[in-house]
Structure 1
Amino acid sequence: MPAARMTSLLLCLGALLAGCSGTTPEAMLDNYSERVARVLEEPIEAGLGATADIPLFPPRRERLLALTDLRQGPIEVLALRHCDLLGLIAQRNSSLGKVMRPSGQLVYELRLLHQVRDCLSRLSQDPDADPQLKLQLAEIEQIKTRELPAVLWNAVYASSEMEANFSRGDPALPLRGKDDETADSDEAALRSLQALANIQTLTSTPDWALPADLDGLEQHYQVLNANRFGSQWLKSLWLLTGTLEHTAQALERREQRGSICPQQRPTPRARILLNVFRLYYAGEVQPYLARVHRSGERWKALHEQLLSQLPATPGMREYQWQVFATANPDSLWQRYSQARDRHTRSWQATLRNCQLMPGS
Structure 2
Amino acid sequence: METVVGSGAVKSNPARSFRACFIGFFAIVLALGVAGCSGNSPEAMFENYLKRLSNVTEVELDEAAEKPVVPPYPRARDIVLPVDDIRIGVITYLEMTRCGLIAEISSRNSSLGRVQRESGRFLYELNTFRKLSECDARTRGQDEDPEFADKLKSLLQAKADNLPKVFWNATFAAKEFRVFMDTATDPLQRSEAVSVARFERPIRYLASLGARLEEAPSIPPEEFEQHYFELQIDKTGGKIVRALSLSGFYLDRAGELLEQAASTGRMCPMGKKTRRAEYLFNVFVKFYAGEVQPYISQLHQAASPLVESVKLLKEGQRVELPPAFESYYAATLDPAAEQGLWHRFNAALQRHTRAWQSVLKPCGMMPGGPVTPSMSQ
Which TM bucket (shorter chain)? 0.7 to 0.9
Contact 1:85/1:112, CA 8 A, preserved across alignment = yes
Which residue identity is paired with 1:194? R
Structure 1 length as normaliser, TM-score?
0.84
Alpha-carbon distance between aligned partners in 2 of 1:122 and 1:145, rounded to the nearest angstrom: 18
Which residue identity is paired with 1:161? E
For 2:284, the equivalent position in structure 1 comes to: 277
Which residue identity is paired with 1:56? P
For 1:239, the equivalent position in structure 2 comes to: 246
1:300-339 matches, cutoff 5 A: 300-310=307-317, 311=319, 312-339=321-348
1:176 aligned to which of 171, 191, 207: 191
For 2:204, the equivalent position in structure 1 comes to: 194
1:68-87 matches, cutoff 5 A: 68-87=84-103
Change (3 A) 1:116 1:19: closer
Alpha-carbon distance between aligned partners in 1 of 2:224 and 2:311, rounded to the nearest angstrom: 21
For 1:224, the equivalent position in structure 2 comes to: 231
For 2:112, the equivalent position in structure 1 comes to: 96
Contact 2:126/2:216, CA 8 A, preserved across alignment = no
TM-aligned CA deviation for residue 202 of structure 1 = 2.5
Unaligned runs of 5+ in 1: 1-16
Contact 2:42/2:190, CA 8 A, preserved across alignment = yes
Alpha-carbon distance between aligned partners in 1 of 2:309 and 2:197, rounded to the nearest angstrom: 13
Alpha-carbon distance between aligned partners in 2 of 1:158 and 1:129, rounded to the nearest angstrom: 43
1:141 aligned to which of 152, 156, 177: 156
For 2:215, the equivalent position in structure 1 comes to: 207
More displaced, 72-81 or 268-277?
Answer: 268-277
Alpha-carbon distance between aligned partners in 2 of 1:43 and 1:221, rounded to the nearest angstrom: 49
TM-aligned CA deviation for residue 135 of structure 1 = 1.9
For 2:10, the equivalent position in structure 1 comes to: none
Contact 2:136/2:152, CA 8 A, preserved across alignment = yes
For 2:70, the equivalent position in structure 1 comes to: 54
Change (3 A) 1:359 1:265: farther
Change (3 A) 1:135 1:173: same
More displaced, 85-94 or 260-269?
Answer: 260-269
Alpha-carbon distance between aligned partners in 2 of 1:39 and 1:51, rounded to the nearest angstrom: 24
For 1:13, the equivalent position in structure 2 comes to: none
Unaligned runs of 5+ in 2: 1-33, 370-377
For 1:7, the equivalent position in structure 2 comes to: none
Alpha-carbon distance between aligned partners in 2 of 1:226 and 1:238, rounded to the nearest angstrom: 23
Contact 2:307/2:334, CA 8 A, preserved across alignment = no
TM-aligned CA deviation for residue 306 of structure 1 = 2.9
Contact 1:80/1:133, CA 8 A, preserved across alignment = no
Alpha-carbon distance between aligned partners in 2 of 1:259 and 1:219, rounded to the nearest angstrom: 60
1:337-352 matches, cutoff 5 A: 337-352=346-361
TM-aligned CA deviation for residue 100 of structure 1 = 0.8
For 2:48, the equivalent position in structure 1 comes to: 31
Contact 1:52/1:235, CA 8 A, preserved across alignment = no
Contact 1:265/1:354, CA 8 A, preserved across alignment = yes
Which structure's residues are more often helix, by fraction? 1
Cα deviation code 1:126-185 (max 9, x no counterpart): x475333322222111122233221111111221222223333111112236xxxx233x
Structure 2 length as normaliser, TM-score?
0.80
Change (3 A) 1:54 1:47: farther
Alpha-carbon distance between aligned partners in 2 of 1:202 and 1:346, rounded to the nearest angstrom: 47
For 2:145, the equivalent position in structure 1 comes to: 130
Change (3 A) 1:219 1:45: farther
Change (3 A) 1:209 1:46: farther
Change (3 A) 1:130 1:174: farther
TM-aligned CA deviation for residue 236 of structure 1 = 0.5
TM-aligned CA deviation for residue 219 of structure 1 = 2.4
More displaced, 229-238 or 257-266?
Answer: 257-266
CA RMSD in angstroms, aligned pairs only: 2.5
Alpha-carbon distance between aligned partners in 1 of 2:266 and 2:93, rounded to the nearest angstrom: 82
Contact 1:46/1:243, CA 8 A, preserved across alignment = no
Which residue identity is paired with 1:321? A
Alpha-carbon distance between aligned partners in 1 of 2:63 and 2:201, rounded to the nearest angstrom: 33
